[in-house]
Amino acid sequence: MMRSQAVKLAKEIGNKAAAEELGIPKGTLGTWLNRARAGEIDTGAGTRSPEESLNLAQQLQAANKKLKEQEKKIRELEELNEFLEEASAFFAANRQKSGRMNG
C-alpha cells in the first residue's frame, strides 16, 4: 500500500519532495514510478497521466489485434486439421478396399 501512496504523492508534489517527505531514497521512488507506469503497481483509478493512459490504450489495441490474428490462425489450423482427418479417412478406406480386392 505504501508504494502506491508514494507514487501518488510524487505525482502531486514531485519526486524529490515526496522522497524527502517519506524518508526514502529518490531512486527507490523513481523505480516505483516506473513500475506504476508499467502497470505493476496499482495506484487506483484516475491516477494515470494522459500519456500513460494513451500508452495503455495502445497496448490494449495491439493485444486485441494479436488476439484476432491468433484466432484467425486457430480457425485456419482447425480447418486444415479437419481436411487432413477427412483425407486420412478417405485413404484408409481406399486401402481397405484395395486390400480386400487383392486378398
Categorize the per-residue pLDDT at 74 as very low, low, confident or very high, splitting at 50, 70 and 90.
very high
Residue 6 in contact with residue 22, Cβ under 8 Å? yes
d(C-alpha 103, C-alpha 97), whole Å: 10
pLDDT, tens digit (0-9, with 9 covering 90-100), for 39-68: 787 776 555 666 766 677 788 888 999 999
Structural domain boundaries in the chain: 1-48
Mean pLDDT over 10-28 rounds to: 90
Higher pLDDT, 61 or 101: 61
The rounded radius of gyration (Å) of the Cα atoms in the chain is 29
Distance between first and last Cα of the chain: 79
d(C-alpha 72, C-alpha 6), whole Å: 44
pLDDT, position 42: 74
pLDDT, tens digit (0-9, with 9 covering 90-100), for 1-12: 588 888 888 888
Mean pLDDT over 9-32 rounds to: 90
Closest CA to 77 of 18, 49, 69: 69
pTM of this structure: 0.42
Locate all alpha helices (DSSP H) within the chain, ordered by sequence: 2-13, 15-22, 26-37, 50-102
Please state, rounded to an integer, the average pLDDT across all residues of the chain.
85
